[in-house]
Amino acid sequence: MKSFDDLLSSSTSGLPTLEPGENFLTGSRTGLNHATEPSALFTPLSDFSHKHSSSSSLKATPRDEVIFNQQVEIGTFASDVQTLGITGNASTSTVVNGRSIAALRQGANKAGKDSLTGMATDSALLSRDSNLTVRGRSDSLAAAVRLPDLVGTIERVIMPRTIDPKKKDDKGQIKVDITNRGSLRARGFLNVSIYASPDPVLSASDQLLDQVSRGNVQIQPNNTRKFTFDFTNPAGVAPGAYYLIVNIDPTGRIAESNETNNAANKRVSANGTDVVLDWNATLLNAIVTERSSPPSASRSMAVLHTAIYDAVTANSTRTVSREAAVAGAAHQILINLYPNQTAILNEQLTMSLAEIANGAAETNGIALGRSVADAVLAARRNDGSAVPSSYIPGTAPGRWQPTLPGNQPALLPHWGNVTPFVMRSGSQFRPEGPPALSSAEWAAEFNEVKTLGGVNSTVRTAEQTEIANFWADGAGTFTPPGHWNLVAEQLSVVRRNTLVENARLFAMLNVAEADAGIAAWDAKYIYDLWRPITAIRLADQDGNPNTVADPTWTPLVITPPFPEYVSGHSTYSGAASTVLASFFGENTQFETTSIGLPGVVRSYSSFSQAADEAGMSRVYGGIHFQSGNQDGLVMGRALGRYVVERYAVT
């Protein structure tokens, strides 16, 4: 909204448009006849006066001077007022439904008080109440609010029976109290939007579940109306923990004194989850909120689930609640790794402990979990993850260089030297390297991604584009290793895993993912290969007669800021799919979703199929060559088998 000073400095030719539901500084004059329903939703304050003069003929030009004695109202403007202008003491025209209020002036009257002077020239305006109105604020005019203010509270949520977003008849219910905290009745159509979100703050990336409308709603000041809304299963959030957000009157159809307090939220868990899944989802949501990088995210997940596994399997001479031990360990880990998420972590701890009977077992479990967590944190404190690097990008053909659009510096060049969780070293599974730039293999891979991966590709199919976006997993999502944790959560709910099974599964999965990140980053900075966007734009430098430069070529997916070979996506996917296959069986049929492409559900007949698709998505997206994909998958699968062998149980 423009300030009063902005309006004073605006030209008379650019009259601002009054948007429905905006607030206005308003002076009111009553017309010759009172209407039964005033045209503006406010009552004039008693401490202003006006003067009215008119001839006996309605066709004459009446003149009103409205003098504000330091107070004016903020009101909802009548729907028939379209534009208004004001510039100092100069006259401007105001149009009401195409009819003109010929002159509107602002200035000090003889008493030194602010005044507005207007002239109405259309007789139709004189038959009912009308207004002279100024948009904005003036320091000399203190505003008194006379508008509704709708505030919602979520009283209860009944979750859908399943987590399947394709079951449209499996709906949840959300019961909402809407209170009018304003000083004027709220009336009209009430629109409500329901979202699923990884955090309690509504943002553009949150998934819209449903939009509902209630007609002819009337809520008097300080009164509350109860509503029940249905919502569909979300596709993209982690089942263990997310927020339902109800946004009341999202389009501002009902003008309010405060348009920023219309969203209410409630933290929920899907039916069939347990404390391991709840805390896994809590970490995934923190990764989204803090935009963690894939290596950092995978390390956090491994630290969390190592502590959870140790807490569940620890021997104790005292009676211990395993659920409390998991909650205590998880909370202690994440408070240290994500201190900015303390409020949400405390909320989740309260929810977890509310499901456990009070007593010694709960108290002992919390203490055990925290003790285990402290030991894990101490063991990882000097693992090399925080060591700075002196890496400097090269300029020779084939060497990695910062890429458009951001030309960001290289991400985590030192990560290949981080202490692994299971591997002996980051180089244990290091591949042989990419093809030589002068080779036929290089030319074939170059031309494949150039054809398939460009933003304007005419060869890539609609499904291939969907695959690229489904597995994109960029900043502000669960990340590639987090995406596989989403798959594991969904399967664990469907298969009804026990708490002990989930502790073991997620420990295996996430130490494999963490080591996959270390192994991939080792290869990335050892081979230091340029990305397709650089290779294609500078192909005249690669010495290969079968590659042709395109200086404007742009990939479908934004290129991340680190070298190409090998694909981290492929390495993570190879490792994760191998661990999941060892637990659920290779030919498990499953469906999964993507936080980056809400509402889309993709189906797979095996874990290998899903991993192959995830790896190939990077070629479709234009950010990896085929050797980076294939060698990453091979390396990840070898690592996954290595982890499974070390977690083998009889």
DSSP symbols for 459-517:
SS-HHHHHHHHHT---TTS-HHHHHHHHHHHHHHHHHT--HHHHHHHHHHHHHHHHHHH
What pLDDT shows up at residue 278?
98
Is 217 part of a structural domain of the chain?
A: yes
Based on the fold, state whether residues 222 and 79 are members of the same structural domain: no
Non-local (6+) Cβ contacts of 343 within 8 A are: none
pLDDT, mean of residues 233-261: 93
The mean per-residue pLDDT over the stretch 115-128 comes to: 34
Residues 125, 619: Cα–Cα separation, whole Å: 66
Of 121, 126, 118, 116, nearest to 99 by C-alpha is 121
Alpha helices in 130-202 (DSSP H): none
Domain boundary among 102, 123, 145: 145
Predicted pLDDT at 44: 32
What band does 599 get if pLDDT is binned at 50, 70 and 90?
A: confident
Residues 169 and 301 in one domain: no
pLDDT band at residue 317 under the 50/70/90 scheme: confident
391-429 pLDDT, tens digit per residue, is: 999 999 999 999 999 999 999 999 999 999 999 999 999
**What is the tally of structural domains in the chain?**
4
CATH of the domain at 234: 2.60.40.10
Q: Choose among 456, 429, 483, 507: nearest CA to 615.
A: 483
- Token digits of residue 362: 């709960």
* 619 and 525 share one domain: yes
Do residues 160 and 225 both lie within one domain?
A: yes
Distance CA 494, CA 488 (A): 10
Last residue of a domain, one of 130, 145, 160: 145
Q: At 337, list the tokens.
A: 């790794």
Compute the distance between CA of residue 496 and CA of residue 492 in angstroms, rounded to an integer: 6
DSSP label of 540: G
Whole-number pLDDT of residue 98 = 38
Do residues 60 and 105 both lie within one domain?
A: yes
- Flag whether 479 is in a domain: yes
Packed helices 275-290 and 479-495: angle between N→C axes, nearest 10 degrees: 160
Would residue 69 count as lying in a domain?
A: yes
Tokens 């449209």 — which residue? Answer: 168
Nearest-angstrom CA–CA distance, 94 and 391: 64
The confidence score (pLDDT) of residue 604 equals 99
DSSP string, 346-374: HHHHHHHHHTS-SSHHHHHHHHHHHHHHH
Q: What confidence tens digit (pLDDT) does each residue in 368-378 have?
A: 999 999 999 99
Write down the pLDDT at residue 649.
57
Please provide the DSSP assignment of 50-63 as one string.
EEEE--SSTTS--E
CATH number of the domain residue 486 falls in: 1.10.606.20
Q: Do residues 574 and 631 both lie within one domain?
A: yes
Question: Do both 140 and 173 map to the same domain?
Answer: no
| SS3 of residue 618 by DSSP | helix
* Final residue before a domain boundary, out of 242, 268, 294: 268
Specify the amino acid at residue 270: A
State which amino acid sits at residue 330: A
Considering the domain architecture, whether residues 591 and 469 belong to the same structural domain is answered as yes
* Residues whose CB is less than 8 angstroms from the CB of residue 305 and which lie 6 or more positions away in sequence, other chains included: 280, 503, 506, 507, 509, 510, 511
Interval 122-133 mean pLDDT: 34
Q: Are residues 101 and 236 in the same domain?
A: no
Using CA atoms of 284, 502, 170, 236 in order, give the dihedral in degrees to the nearest 10.
20
Q: How far apart are CA 585 and CA 591, in angstroms?
A: 15
Side-chain-facing half-sphere of 322: CA atoms under 13 Å: 16
Q: Model confidence at 118, in pLDDT bands (50, 70, 90)?
A: very low
Q: Is 20 a residue whose pLDDT tops 90?
A: no
What is the signed CA dihedral for 232, 236, 242, 245, rounded to 10 degrees? -50
- Reading the block at residue 331, the tokens are 């909370």
Please, which residues bridge with residue 604 across strands? 590
Q: Is residue 98 part of a domain?
A: yes
CATH number of the structural domain spanning residue 341 = 1.20.144.10
403 domain-assigned = no
CA distance to 253, 291, 447, per residue, from 193 (Å): 13, 26, 46
The answer to whether residue 414 sits within a structural domain is no
pLDDT at 492 over 70: yes
In terms of domains, do 162 and 109 share one? Answer: no
pLDDT tens profile 601-610: 999 999 999 9
- 439 found inside a domain: no
pLDDT in tens, 525-576: 999 999 999 999 999 999 999 999 999 999 999 999 999 999 999 999 999 9
Neighbours of 303 (CB within 10 A): 26
Integer Cα distance of 192 and 211 in angstroms: 6
Specify if 394 maps to a domain. no
Which residue segment(s) compose the domain that 348 sits in? 275-380
Q: Based on the fold, state whether residues 350 and 310 are members of the same structural domain.
A: yes
137 and 225 part of one domain: no
